[in-house]
Structure 1
Amino acid sequence: MRSISRRLLLLPIAAGVVLALSGCTTDQLHGYLPGFIDGQAPATNQTQRVSDLWVGSWITLLAVGVITWALIIWAAIVYRRRRGQTGLPVQLRYNMPLEIFYTVVPLILVLGLFAFTARDQSIIETRYEKPDVTIDAYGKQWSWDFVYADTANLDNSVYDQGVQAEPSDPGAAGTGFVEKTIPTLYLPVNRKVEIQLRTRDVNHSFWVIDFLYKKDMIAGQTNYWDFTPTRIGTYEGKCAELCGEYHSRMLFNVAVVSQADYDAHLASLRAQGKIGSLGTEYDKVDGSAGGSQNTGDEVGSSNTRLRNERNGN
């Protein structure tokens, strides 16, 4: 009889949960994370996985919170001091079942959250054996270089070199910031992409907000990010590692386009003469970064040349 009453009690609770979830919007179902649009695919093949981990973790934590709050309120009401009572209530020093419960349950929760996180991270961090597109992304104070690598012949690679940020008047303080064109990384939709992440100076971090993932760019080290963009659109990106005075201006865009538009973009870079592999020759001199060749003056002159090219001079 008791089991029947419990089932009857659980039925309205389950029905309420189902109704609540069915009435949720896309934003609510994904924990108000970016990267999702009603009726369209997620931004990448990994976006849904990150969202599921995020939402599942919050549901678990909220359930624990509700149970904890309920027990605290229940104990405060049931065991409150009543009128006419004097002295102290009966003191319980040890209760082994409760001690075991309070130890085992949190341990299970922590291990469970760790296991799901490790599983998803392992999947996300797995590199493609044969990516369709390989791109070298270089972070620099305070812009980005993108090299669309031809793995069969590096001499056929093309690149887009961003203009580094500079004060409007290097000789005066507080004169503002030179506005620059935000560099755009082009990616073909539904193609396996591998981005090789490097830095030309200090540590940076490559973050595409709607992709729900970021990777650090460590001096002297190459990191890899493999994914498949699954929805055409333009997405905002930024550096997520404090990297100097104009860190907040170290922005970029990601344009996920059709294969035809992607090929047309590469052709336009080739027509501009931006052919070849743009490697470490523009790195800032820093012995701790593993050896780069250019001096600060060479980087500055290259920066000026790039700005003049953009201005048509």
Structure 2
Amino acid sequence: MRGSALPARHDGGTAKTAHRRRSVVVRIGLLVALVGLTSGCTANDLPRLGMPTPITAQAQRVLRLWQGGWAAALFVGCIVWGLIIWCVIAYRKRDGAQAPQTTYNVPIEVLYTVVPVIFVAVFFYFTARDENYVTKLSAHPDVTVEVVGYQWDWQFNYLSGPQPDAPIVAQVTGDAAHGHPATLELPAGETVRFKLVSPDVIHAFWVPNFLFKRDVIPGRMSEFDVHIDADKQGTYIGRCTELCGLYHDQMIFYVKVVDPVTYQHDLETMKAQYAAGGAS
């Protein structure tokens, strides 16, 4: 009877021990997830995860891709950390006994191969989808601006349309060296086509709130569109992010987003100034 009673007590103890281990693993997993979600972020920064406030439809797409990438990375990290912690607790050496040794576990090896391939395929799909959306050109943009980056300032030429031979109707030239950076005025709620050109060296056109930048390369014109959100009126800073020479740091400009009525009024004023032989 004594011999038959011992296994029962041993089984009960084993069950309790296993339950405690699972409880510890769950608590550690929750703690890791909580730390990952809260570390380094304030309540205001958490939704954008450090990104600037997006002001275009394309920037919104980029922000969602950024947030999705972080969520996927956290999900994978929690799984990996959870498996590591579980193995450490469940298979640690006890009472001087050696843990069971397993080799050539085909199901596990297949799992470790297939799952990463699936993750990479999913990441690639969303990245390619959003890249195509961000770089897609509209058939009929509302505003077309030729951006000229030169050593060391910016010039913005308002064109009559997106055609290659469209004439300039208004012009804004910066003088950042004397405290007058160029200000590019754009209408809220409309699509803007940018044509980027450079007469000297490589520059880079970057507005942080666009969540997008592109090089300005001599001898080649680059194009991209943005659709500005209707509720994002305000003034935003822009910079050159390509080291272009001695006064690279002064190549700043501003993007002023106004309502369409104000934009049309100001554009007519700029057109009159340009027709009279001067740039605003």
Band of TM-score, shorter chain: 0.7 to 0.9
The residue identity in structure 1 corresponding to 2:243 is L
Per-residue CA deviation, residues 248-279 of structure 1 (Å, 9 max, x unaligned), is 32111100112222223223323434668xxx
TM-score, normalization by structure 2: 0.76
Q: Would you say 1:161 and 2:173 are equivalent positions?
A: yes
Q: Would you say 1:75 and 2:76 are equivalent positions?
A: no
Q: What's the counterpart of residue 61 of structure 1? A: 73
Q: Contact 2:92 / 2:99 at 8 angstroms: preserved in 1?
A: no
Counterparts of 1:206-245 in structure 2, within 5 Å, are 206-230=205-229, 231-245=232-246
Report which of the two structures shows the higher radius of gyration computed on alpha carbons. Answer: 2
Q: Would you say 1:104 and 2:114 are equivalent positions?
A: yes
The residue identity in structure 1 corresponding to 2:157 is V
1:76–1:259 distance in 2 versus 1, CA, 3 Å:
same
Q: Contact 1:156 / 1:275 at 8 angstroms: preserved in 2?
A: no
Per-residue CA deviation, residues 195-214 of structure 1 (Å, 9 max, x unaligned), is 11112211111111112111
TM-score, normalization by structure 1: 0.69
Partner Cα separation in structure 2 for residue 133 and residue 31 of structure 1: 31
- 2:123 corresponds, among 113, 124, 129, to 113
Q: Would you say 1:134 and 2:133 are equivalent positions?
A: no
Return 5+ residue gaps in structure 2 as ranges.
Answer: 1-25
Q: What's the counterpart of residue 29 of structure 1? A: 47
The residue identity in structure 2 corresponding to 1:28 is L
1:156–1:252 distance in 2 versus 1, CA, 3 Å:
closer
Equivalenced residue count is: 240
What is the aligned-residue identity percentage?
A: 40
Secondary structure in 2 matching 1:28: coil
1:74–1:271 distance in 2 versus 1, CA, 3 Å:
same
Q: Would you say 1:51 and 2:63 are equivalent positions?
A: yes
RMSD value over aligned CA atoms?
Answer: 2.9
Counterparts of 1:164-179 in structure 2, within 5 Å, are 178-179=177-178
Q: What's the counterpart of residue 181 of structure 2? A: 182
- 1:94 corresponds, among 82, 104, 126, to 104
Q: What's the counterpart of residue 3 of structure 2? A: none
Partner Cα separation in structure 1 for residue 140 and residue 272 of structure 2: 28
Q: Contact 1:207 / 1:213 at 8 angstroms: preserved in 2?
A: yes
Bigger shift: 195-204 or 73-82? Answer: 73-82
Secondary structure in 2 matching 1:29: coil
Q: Contact 1:31 / 1:51 at 8 angstroms: preserved in 2?
A: no
Secondary structure in 2 matching 1:46: helix
Return 5+ residue gaps in structure 1 as ranges.
Answer: 1-8, 36-41, 166-177, 277-305
Partner Cα separation in structure 2 for residue 122 and residue 156 of structure 1: 29
Q: Contact 1:159 / 1:275 at 8 angstroms: preserved in 2?
A: no
